[in-house]
Amino acid sequence: GKHRIVIPCLGHFKEEYEKVSKLYMNNKIQTTRYTLLNFLPRNLFEQFHRVANLYFLFLVVLNWVPLVEAFQKEITMLPLIGVLTIIAVKDGLEDYSRYKMDKQINNLVTKVYSR
């Protein structure tokens, strides 16, 4: 298989290396968009940037006004909730597959050369 090659500066310079390495980012790969804490708010924020979802939200809000009410309030919300749920599940599964791929790449066997 493929291996990554990392050449560290350790040995008797270990203390200096640890001080300097805190200033730089690590080489961990992360392509995921969500975490468990920000999945729902971030996903809803991204979904309501689509015009179709804003249209359905407008219909739901408009249906809560008694003079304009055309259907039952709950029935108007069903298409919006259905679309949001399906897209959220799809995005969650795609992000989880990205997480698994990142984990696989980050755990590859590496060769370390030292003096």
pTM for this model (two decimals): 0.70
Structure tokens at 2: 């493929």
Asked if 1 and 72 count as a contact pair (C-beta separation under 8 A), the reply is no
Q: Between these two residues, 21 and 41, which has the higher pLDDT value? A: 41
| Cβ atoms within 10 Å of 103's Cβ, excluding its own | 12
52-104 pLDDT, tens digit each: 999 989 988 988 888 877 778 888 899 899 999 999 999 999 999 999 999 99
Confidence of residue 10 (pLDDT cuts 50, 70, 90): low
Whether residue 113 is contained in a domain is answered as no
Tell whether 37 is covered by a domain. Answer: yes
Helix (H, G, I), strand (E, B) or coil at 6: strand
Q: Is residue 13 part of a domain?
A: no
Measured distance CA(42)–CA(55) in Å, rounded: 19
Domain ranges, residue 76:
29-107
- Give residue 92's pLDDT: 96
Residue 24 inside a domain? The answer is no
The answer to whether position 18 is within a domain reads: no
User: Is residue 21, in this structure, part of any structural domain at all?
Assistant: no
Banded model confidence at residue 114, pLDDT cuts 50, 70, 90: low
**Does 4 reside within a domain?**
no
- Distance, CA of 20 to CA of 27 (rounded, Å): 15
Total of domains in the chain = 1
